[in-house]
Amino acid sequence: MIKKVFLGGTAFAAALLLASCSTSGADSAAESPDAEAGAGAEICYITAAESHAYATPANEAFQAAADEAGAKVTMLSQDFDVQTGTEQLTTCIGRSPDGIVLWPLDPQAYIPGLIQAQTAGIPVVLINSPMDDEALELVESFTGPDVYEEGVLSADAMDEALGGEGGVVIIAGQAGNGTSIGRTDGFTEQLEKIGSDIEVLQTVNADFDQQKALVASRDLITRFGDDIDGVYANDDTMARGFIDAWAEAGKDPAEIPPIVGINGQQDAFESIRDGQFYATIVQSPVEDGKLALETIVQAAAGETVENRIPIPLTVVTAENVEDVEPAF
């Protein structure tokens, strides 16, 4: 086993998709130092999306951890729209919470809002997705997976699957998204670093969406056909889109090129068992959400936190698929 450590701005009132205030009982708070530290803390959480295979369990874990700590959470969904998120960040600042957790969809767009938050003395924690270095100086911490390392691990897995040569296609997430950039750059730069003869035939964006990945994969299969020796998808959901397109094209399932995905979803594990996936990288949305909440509660209480707190990553292939639990 290999282990390494979105709603229109003009209608912002409708953006309060999830707003909840839940406080643990006094006995619970007395028993738990974490609950005592978080009791009554007002946290504004701007998540990537309300309904999404990865974001939803992360959001639920965040809320569950808040309930346990006695923190009160206002949760807003960007629905994968950057402009919405920047507007929500400004509104969160106006509410003067004890802390803000932001799931950034762009490496730079939120920087003006982060400057406002810092000026107002409101601690901010980034969850899941990276931003530029300038932004990291404006926040208390960034928690979540090392997306560049995920790209590196994916490149190593693909190089092993193809014996160091062949043509691959990359199905990336949103253009300009920090996770997409990190996972893609990590992959291509690692191939170059290790001297692999694998060639990237084309990179397409499918916005972390299975249907969009299906449409993009149809075009890739039509254009490159048998020249596709491998597929690297920025997440397992988009990898599933390629599998669907392969079946739709009437191609033999036994001849599907090796696929490497990310997230460690249950269906990716099944696809590894069925021989349709070569590898997936497990990152837990539960750990993602829980860690962000714990970190912002500490920061809101005036405690010093590490500026980068990663969650573990595990590469899963046929060799260890029975020994690892899916992320979700």
Give pTM, 2 decimals: 0.85
Pairing of strands 197-205, 230-233: unpaired
For residues 35 and 134, membership in a common domain is answered with yes
Q: In whole numbers, what is the pLDDT of the chain averaged over residues?
A: 90
8 A C-beta contact, residue 323 and residue 1:
yes
> Does 326 reside within a domain?
no
In the chain, % of residues over pLDDT 90:
88
Which residues make Cβ contacts (< 8 Å) with residue 16, sequence separation at least 6?
Answer: 74, 76
Please tell me the predicted confidence (pLDDT) of residue 38.
74
Please tell me the predicted confidence (pLDDT) of residue 37.
61
Please tell me the predicted confidence (pLDDT) of residue 20.
35
The three-state secondary structure class of 45 is strand
For residues 223 and 293, membership in a common domain is answered with no
Please tell me the predicted confidence (pLDDT) of residue 31.
37
Structure tokens belonging to residue 307: 């500026």
88 is in which domain, residue-wise?
2-143+286-310
In the chain, % of residues over pLDDT 70:
89
8 A C-beta contact, residue 275 and residue 258:
no
For residues 115 and 79, membership in a common domain is answered with yes
CATH number at residue 116: 3.40.50.2300
> Does 237 reside within a domain?
yes
8 A C-beta contact, residue 89 and residue 113:
yes
The total of structural domains in the chain comes to 2
> pLDDT digits over 47-104, tens only?
999 999 999 999 999 999 999 999 999 999 999 999 999 999 999 999 999 999 999 9
For residues 81 and 213, membership in a common domain is answered with no
Please tell me the predicted confidence (pLDDT) of residue 247.
97
Distance CA 87, CA 93 (A): 10
8 A C-beta contact, residue 4 and residue 312:
yes
For residues 277 and 290, membership in a common domain is answered with no
For residues 268 and 163, membership in a common domain is answered with yes
For residues 54 and 185, membership in a common domain is answered with no
Tell me the one-letter amino acid at 162.
L
pLDDT grade for 39, boundaries at 50, 70 and 90:
confident
For residues 208 and 136, membership in a common domain is answered with no
8 A C-beta contact, residue 309 and residue 295:
yes
For residues 138 and 194, membership in a common domain is answered with no
The alpha helices in 140-199, defined as continuous H runs, are 147-162, 178-193
Instruction: Answer yes or no: is pLDDT of 199 > 50.
Output: yes
For residues 202 and 138, membership in a common domain is answered with no
